[in-house]
Structure 1
Amino acid sequence: MNLPASLKYTKEHEWIRVEGDVAFIGITDHAQKELGDIVYVDIDTLDKEVAQNDVFGTVEAVKTVSDLFSPITGTVLEINEKLDGSPELVNSDPYGDGWMVKMSISNPAELEGLLASEAYGELVGA
């Protein structure tokens, strides 16, 4: 299983990559494998403040629909437009082209409570 050490993770299977004062957020390799073929990503929180652990969108797979939970509090600055036409990018490249949103970071201290790759790996049995 792919768990980049440079990322932080949540128990709800989201990852976060911090670049300066913005964060890229997506779902983990483990999550996309569990969901199966992703057919649609629905995110309607652009320009909205989302609190830590609140739902910022949903991801739809052939088998199920799952909520996407924000790892931090912040404003959704950008939604990955590539996912509109190619939701399968979440399956093929969950940590790269399959990112879902770019957010501002309202409370940097929240990052401290997220899981390192080793802890997330233990959580999912990797």
Structure 2
Amino acid sequence: MSFEVHNMDMKTGDTLKIKGKIADDADKFMVNLGSSEGHIAMHLNPRFHDDIDGAVIVCNSMCNHCWDSEHRDSNFPFSKGEEVKVCITFKGDNFEIKLPNGHMIEFPNRLSLDKVTYMSVQGDFKMVSFKYC
């Protein structure tokens, strides 16, 4: 499943709230924020079974369709079949990701974007709603 939004106007201080249901047989899902499909400033990728770390959240960035180095977080508050809310605040120099259990991940704005204009949600996740304010 895939969902894309172009021409967003998410600025420093704005928070994106995404609610959805994780598939019963989920393997992984992704939330991407950036300026286009090939320029992803923040890639959030919860993986239920990663070959290296098992259940892990991988964050990364992409510039000109090339991935940078991964940031891995083993705090994994997701369960298959459950409804969740994830909040991502654009802080300018970084992204602050609040997970369903309250755990925070800070990920740097490696592309130095001054605003986010692109969002995609992909994988084993059915989005119910999103808003940014």
Instruction: Confirm or deny a common fold (TM above 0.5).
Output: no
Q: Which has the higher strand share?
A: 2
Calculate the TM-score normalised by the size of structure 1.
0.34
Higher relative contact order (CA 8 A, sep 6+): 2
Q: Which has the higher helix share?
A: 1
